[in-house]
Structures are given as structure tokens and as C-alpha cells.
Homo-oligomer: A and B are copies of this chain.
């Protein structure tokens, strides 16, 4: 069998009216669109026309704890529950994957298994689950806690949570259905497996009222890049979203994560790494720069600083001069990888506090490229071919406009270079990503591998 040439995988990260913190203030943007299904239907159709592997809906719990005044000047305080949004988009799309964020920390695993299985069936095999553990005290308080669990504890719980969820997805074997109307047998009772999980953090007995998801398991996605996050990703993730400001950092992360896979019995190909990138595309460099400058000029300094603070554990920068250096920060139990990203960026480029928040504001710390279709394709190709990325999660500064421009201008350039598909080849998200479909653990038992029940299968190899 000939191996197809390696091609980019692209995610379209949907986020209100755009990833730039001031997107909603742009005169072309309708700031109320973030509240309407039609807006997201349009984005999904644009992304599917652009042959993206998936659309992606991020999430946190509740409104941030910052002041009402600050929130009111920030991006739209509105975010649909990702699975509800993606289910609503399943019916108006046919091929594109649907990846939603759900935190493991505040939702019983049954509910997560159930809704992801539902989305995978409703979309005929296009669901992905972006596992996060939630990293803010304001989220903990919505669930009756004083403060969040420690970082390492959240990740330890998450690993057991994944076992439980997979066990529930395996309630039925793939070929359990008989549909024998004459004999009155809907399924083969030997192919129902009730979970009986008694772990350190979870105790779950029962079965999901769902046939096995079309993809076996929805694609397992993760975005945590801390040490704990990388270890969990190496064990469980198939797609990793990450944030880097330089190709060197991206390469180091790529190597660090891929090098962990063999110890888990996994091939480096079994996990795809997609850094986020925020593309500002112009027909000329000057046009692109003008678009970028126009958005940057709309950043409210208080909003930029507040955004920076929210990413580094809520540190209060108000006592520090905007045009002075970025102060040292205490360790956080929150989003450790993002804190490190910003501090490294500030040190490397010797940024002032103002310069740092301006960089953060364009796409919450993700890499921003400002250029022509050719120059942007050059940069993406460079990252892709030098061991920094398997593709990218595209974070359009304004939506739908910058996503439209990316699809109209950059995608054709990537296709001309043979770096991106010219038609969908597969039907499921796994097929788009070239990921194997996980076998049901009963198949391993049948083939004589060790029987551990409730088993989580070793990753299937192609």
C-alpha cells in the first residue's frame, strides 16, 4: 500500500465574533452575532467548504471573577454549551469534525460519556472531546467549592475519568445489534458489558443507553501543555491543541510530547499536534498589517491587562507601570502552561507589560501571523516540515471575516503546494485525521490478550 504524502490537519476554532479580544468592536463585526445559531451555522459551512478537519468549540465554566466593569468591556460574555452548539451544527454539516471542550472536574463521567456518544451518533462519527480540567477558582465556586483542586490532583482524577468514560462507551460491542424483528431480539445479550468501576476517585456501575459510538471512541483531544498535561496527553490524547509563540518552542514541545508516546505503547503518529495560529491575511503585506493595526488599536488597555491577568492565575498587575518590565509571578495552581508561555515570551523579547498584553490580546497568547497568502503559507509550511506541527488550529481574529479570508486565500495556496487536501477523503473525524478506530476491549480478550475488566483497550495500531 502506498503511503499518502503527509498533509496538514486544520481545525477551525470558533469563538464568538472572533479571537481578537477587541473583535466585537470592529466596525465590520456584528457584536450580537455571538448569540445566534445562524452565525455559527455560517462559520461551520465556511469551514466545511474549506475542508477543515474539524470545528472546535472551547469552554470554561461561568463568567470570570473579574469586575462587572471589566467584563462589560471585554469580549461577548456569552458562550453556548459546546455540545449543544455542536449538536445544532451536526444537522447542517456533513463531513467536518465537531470537537467540543468538556471539563472532567465538575461533571459526573456518565454525563460526559452520554453526551459525547450522542454527538458521535448524531453526526455519524464526527465527534471529538477536548478534555480540560478547569483551572480557575471562579469555576470551583459555581460547584460549591472554595477553590479549585490542585493541578496534579485534577490531572490524576482526569486519567481515571477517561477510563470510566471509555468503559461506558464500551457498554455495547460494535456488532451487538441483531435487529431481529421476527425472533424479538434487538441485540445480542452477550455483547452488553456493564461497567463496574471502583477507582480511587470514581465509582460507576451501569451501562450507557447507547450503542458504541460510530468512531469507537470520539477523538480524544487535549490542550494542557504542562508536565501533568503532557503525561495525560501521551497516555490518552489523539489530537493536541497547543500554544507557542516561536517555532523553536513549538518544536521543543512537539518533540517532548511525541517522545513520550513509545513508553505508552503508542506510535508517534497516533497523536497529532496542532498549535493555534491567528492569521491576519492581506493581498499585500501592507494590507495585512493595516488590518492588524486596526484591531490592535481597538484594545482597551484595562481589558488587555485583565486578560493577561486571567491567564496567569489572577495576578494583579495594577501596581506595575504599563511601560515597565513584566514582574516575576508566583507559581499557579491554575493554567501552568499558559503562565510559562507568557513569561518566556516577555523574557525572550524583553517586552513591557503593555507590549505583552497587546500580544496576548490578539489570540489569547497564540501565534499571530500577519501577511500575504504566500508568506503565511510559507510560515505554516516551515512549522509543518521542521517538526513543530502536524497542522494548525486556526483562530480567526474576527469571525466570520478572517475565517472567510483564510479559506479563500490561504487554503488554495496550501493546496497548490500539496500541503492540504482538495476534497474530503473520509467520512469520520478519525478518517480525516488518519487515526485508527479503537477496537472494543472484548476483541482483545477474544484474541488472547490479558483480560482486564473493565478494560480500557490499548491503542489500536493501523
On whether the beta carbons of B188 and A88 are closer than 8 Å, the reply is no
Residues from chain B with a CB closer than 8 A to the CB of A194 are 63
A73 nearest CB neighbor, chain B only: B184
Q: In the complex, what's the smallest C-beta–C-beta distance from A380 to chain B, in angstroms?
A: 32
**Residue contacts A-B, CB under 8 angstroms, 18 given:** A32-B177, A35-B211, A37-B121, A62-B206, A63-B192, A68-B189, A68-B190, A71-B187, A72-B185, A81-B115, A87-B87, A88-B90, A88-B91, A106-B111, A107-B111, A110-B142, A111-B111, A142-B205
Residues from chain B with a CB closer than 8 A to the CB of A123 are 37
Q: Mark A101-133, 1 if CB is under 8 A from B, else 0.
A: 000001110110011001101111000000000
Check if A202 is an interface residue, CB within 8 A of chain B: yes
Residues from chain B with a CB closer than 8 A to the CB of A184 are 22, 25, 73, 298, 300, 303
Check if A138 is an interface residue, CB within 8 A of chain B: yes
Q: In the complex the two chains form, what is the Cα distance from A139 to B205 in whole Å?
A: 9
Within 8 A of B (CB), among A167-201: 171-172, 177-179, 181-182, 184-190, 192, 194
On whether the beta carbons of A41 and B91 are closer than 8 Å, the reply is yes
On whether the beta carbons of B27 and A73 are closer than 8 Å, the reply is no
10 closest Cβ contacts across the A-B interface? A68-B189, A144-B203, A87-B87, A142-B206, A62-B206, A141-B205, A84-B118, A72-B189, A63-B207, A84-B87
Residues from chain B with a CB closer than 8 A to the CB of A121 are 35-37, 80
Check if A445 is an interface residue, CB within 8 A of chain B: no
From known contacts A118-B80, A210-B78, infer whether A91 and B171 are also in contact, taking CB-CB under 8 Å. no
A171 nearest CB neighbor, chain B only: B63
Q: In the complex, what's the smallest C-beta–C-beta distance from A176 to chain B, in angstroms?
A: 9
Q: In the complex the two chains form, what is the Cα distance from A90 to B75 in whole Å?
A: 26
Range of interface residues on A (Cβ < 8 Å): 35 or more
Check if A92 is an interface residue, CB within 8 A of chain B: yes
On whether the beta carbons of B110 and A62 are closer than 8 Å, the reply is yes
A177 nearest CB neighbor, chain B only: B32
Check if A24 is an interface residue, CB within 8 A of chain B: yes
On whether the beta carbons of B186 and A77 are closer than 8 Å, the reply is yes
Q: In the complex the two chains form, what is the Cα distance from A181 to B108 in whole Å?
A: 40
Residues from chain B with a CB closer than 8 A to the CB of A92 are 91
Q: In the complex the two chains form, what is the Cα distance from A205 to B428 in whole Å?
A: 40
Q: In the complex the two chains form, what is the Cα distance from A261 to B92 in whole Å?
A: 43
On whether the beta carbons of A209 and B122 are closer than 8 Å, the reply is no
Beyond A74-B186, A77-B211, 12 extra complex contacts between A and B, CB < 8 Å? A24-B181, A37-B122, A62-B209, A71-B187, A71-B189, A78-B209, A80-B118, A81-B83, A83-B87, A87-B87, A87-B88, A141-B205
Q: Mark A201-226, 1 if CB is under 8 A from B, else 0.
A: 01111111111000000000000000
Q: In the complex the two chains form, what is the Cα distance from A210 to B74 in whole Å?
A: 14
Q: Mark A22-61, 1 if CB is under 8 A from B, else 0.
A: 1011110101100111000100000000000000000011
